[in-house]
Chain A
Amino acid sequence: MRARPRLPSWLVPFLCLMAAVALPFWVPTYYTQFASKALIMGMLAMALNLAVGQGGLVSLCHAAFFGVAGYVLALTSPKYDAASLLLTLPLAVLASGLAALAIGALALRTRGVYFIMVTLAFGEMLYFFFHDTGIGGGSDGAFINLKPEIAIAGRQLLDLDKPMAFYFVVLAFTVGVIALLLMLVRSPFGHALAAARDNERRARSLGFPIFRIRLIAFTISGALAGLAGYFAAAQFGFVAPEMLGWHQSATVLAMVLIGGLQSVTGPLLGALVLLGLEEVLKANLAQWKLAEGLIVIAIVLALPNGVRQLWPLLFGQPRQKPSSGKVAPETGRG
């Protein structure tokens, strides 16, 4: 092992946060909006990773939870007025959480490939629910004319129509999601969830109620996906059934794989990488989807544990403190 001075563990997250706070003051508005979008997709990917990475539950219906929250915002937004964020956000998250609870309660009775297929089927059901019924404009989707506002007693506190204000609200929620997920992953609950992923039979025979643990995790994961979906709908001012489709679910799964399953923030990095890649390729290549696909395959093959694997290669920092062997290697780290 190379004898380099170790950076304090808080330093990197702190610097990342500082950079994220400083960003909108230095870049054109377009990139502030792009960063908001990336953080929103990062939230979705981190939410999904609670189920996939920590729980071993590969879900192909998280886009549906994402989209349900978006539709809740669209349906509760008055036509010529702004919706109240303090009212509609909890409602949207609740709706996604309930959808995840209902779908999870059925899908978690299956395992492995069957679980993937059942979640895919439920996701498509929700997609066609919005596609084929008049609710929310059918296949045309629905507009959200005004961004929701944060107001108390009629006084507006923050104008979310300003890209910078919107960005900071999204950033604050992203930090909140990271904190929540870190707490969960490091808690006894998180360890029990990981134990059930690694050896379900053993976890059950020790006395862990596997179904309940997984259902709770899946519900939280779905609710957080809804949080991301709410902001996505608010940012674009538009919702369409495609938001719920399996294509979207698979894209987020790709973000999780690019970022790495084994940490809380890895999928956020994966979202940044994938969206950044898209942005660069779109501007320069006609066949950008082909190039993107090849690069994603290359990343996943070369870095099976995600782009965070590059970190020790670049900086020679051991990922695991040798002295703290009691910490299981795959429990999430910042």
Chain B
Amino acid sequence: MAEIALHARRLRKQFGGVRAVSDVSIDVHANEVHAVIGPNGAGKSTLINLLSGELFVNAGSIMLGEVDITGLAPDQRARAGLGRAYQKTTIFPRFSVHENVRLAAQARSHAPLRMFGGIATNDEVNRRTDAAIAKAGLAGRESIVANLLSHGEQRQLEIAMVLATDPKIILLDEPLAGMGQAEARAIIALIASLKQGRAVLIVEHDMDAVFELADRLTVMHDGHVIATGVPAEVRLHPAVREAYLGNHGDAA
């Protein structure tokens, strides 16, 4: 079996009396795309926020490789090797594409807060910046100010920024939301290529994309995991058909 990049055990998160996530365990394997699906309110976004550190768990533990990151703040988790993209595109809108990605590479460099010298002097940062821009398909667009990009390109930019931090695992929250067909095809291809050498966890509503991309699926319902495994198995799982896909046949 492949190496486990992220291992979350029995996570619980309560908002007042509501258990948004209870007893959720998930193993994300390296070199795989792991999709989390479930109806609205199933706790998917809460789960991704627990993993990235924007919310802290009430119980449970999160291991990134061999490192326990349960108590770490989001920036510390990022430096430990966890990258995330948001449901609503989150970039530096007034900076150029190049500067957006360069900042990401800088954040993971050896001296991210150096106070002297220019910003272009670190060869390692420059190399990772250029590589991430090329990988995300934004070569030639470097000098454009980020808020002038199309919605799809802003998504690509956000993924390029995550890539430039050289993460061990990437969390993607609904990467296809609000995207046209052609744009979506490009992003799907990009996401499929991300798993080489790292793990990808994706929350997505587009079932076609999920079944195309996912090597492994976890289905959530009411804050619980009701099934997890390879897509072909999960699809046939009775509880999944009951709770999520409904009895109307194959939603995929």
A contacts, CB < 8 Å to B: 183-184, 186-192, 195, 198-199, 201-210, 212-213, 216, 325-330
Decide if B153 is an interface residue (CB 8 Å cutoff).
no
A27 and B25 CA atoms in complex are apart in Å by: 78
A328 to B: closest C-beta gap in Å:
5
Q: Are B114 and A328 in contact (CB under 8 A)?
A: no
Q: Are A183 and B142 in contact (CB under 8 A)?
A: no
- A188-B112, A189-B114 as given contacts; A326 in contact with B78, CB under 8 Å: no
Q: Are B74 and A329 in contact (CB under 8 A)?
A: no
A318 to B: closest C-beta gap in Å:
15
A204 to B: closest C-beta gap in Å:
5
A206 and B73 CA atoms in complex are apart in Å by: 12
Interface residue tally on B, bucketed by range:
35 or more
A326 and B142 CA atoms in complex are apart in Å by: 7
Q: Are A189 and B115 in contact (CB under 8 A)?
A: yes
Q: Which of B83, B91, B92 has the most CB of A within 10 A?
A: B92
Decide if B230 is an interface residue (CB 8 Å cutoff).
no
A selection of 26 A-B contacts at a CB cut-off of 8 Å is A186-B118, A186-B119, A188-B112, A188-B122, A189-B113, A191-B106, A195-B92, A198-B94, A199-B92, A201-B86, A202-B90, A202-B161, A204-B75, A205-B74, A205-B84, A205-B86, A206-B75, A206-B103, A207-B79, A207-B165, A212-B113, A325-B98, A325-B143, A326-B143, A328-B96, A328-B99
Residues of A within 8 A of B144 (CB): 325
Find the B residue at minimum CB distance from A186: B118
Q: Are B99 and A326 in contact (CB under 8 A)?
A: yes
Q: Are A209 and B75 in contact (CB under 8 A)?
A: yes
Interface membership of chain B positions 136-166, coded 1 if the CB is closer than 8 angstroms to chain A and 0 otherwise: 0000001111000000000000000100010
Q: Are B95 and A198 in contact (CB under 8 A)?
A: yes
A327 and B118 CA atoms in complex are apart in Å by: 11
Residues of A within 8 A of B91 (CB): 199, 202
Q: Are A206 and B95 in contact (CB under 8 A)?
A: no
Decide if B16 is an interface residue (CB 8 Å cutoff).
no
Residues of A within 8 A of B93 (CB): 198-199
Decide if B107 is an interface residue (CB 8 Å cutoff).
yes
Residues of A within 8 A of B108 (CB): 206-207
Instruction: Select B96's contact among A188, A205, A212, A326, beta carbons within 8 Å.
Output: A326
B48-86 contacts to A (CB < 8 Å):
52, 54, 73-76, 78-79, 83-84, 86
A215 to B: closest C-beta gap in Å:
12
Q: Which of A183, A216, A326, A330 has the most CB of B within 10 A?
A: A326
B29 to A: closest C-beta gap in Å:
23
Find the A residue at minimum CB distance from B111: A188
Residues of A within 8 A of B249 (CB): none
Q: Are A192 and B107 in contact (CB under 8 A)?
A: yes
Closest 7 CB pairs of A and B: A325-B143, A207-B78, A207-B107, A206-B107, A207-B79, A189-B115, A328-B95
Instruction: Select A191's contact among B73, B79, B119, beta carbons within 8 Å.
Output: B119
A264 to B: closest C-beta gap in Å:
15
Q: Are B116 and A206 in contact (CB under 8 A)?
A: no
A75 to B: closest C-beta gap in Å:
31
Decide if B180 is an interface residue (CB 8 Å cutoff).
no
Instruction: Select A188's contact among B52, B90, B106, beta carbons within 8 Å.
Output: B106
Residues of B within 8 A of A330 (CB): 94
Residues of A within 8 A of B94 (CB): 198, 328-330
Residues of A within 8 A of B106 (CB): 188, 191-192
Decide if B5 is an interface residue (CB 8 Å cutoff).
no
Q: Are B119 and A207 in contact (CB under 8 A)?
A: no
Q: Are B116 and A183 in contact (CB under 8 A)?
A: yes
Instruction: Select B115's contact among A183, A205, A206, A328, beta carbons within 8 Å.
Output: A183
B180 to A: closest C-beta gap in Å:
24
Q: Which of A189, A199, A206 has the most CB of B within 10 A?
A: A206
Residues of A within 8 A of B111 (CB): 188
Q: Which of A201, A205, A325, A330 has the most CB of B within 10 A?
A: A205
Residues of A within 8 A of B161 (CB): 202, 206
Q: Are A206 and B78 in contact (CB under 8 A)?
A: yes
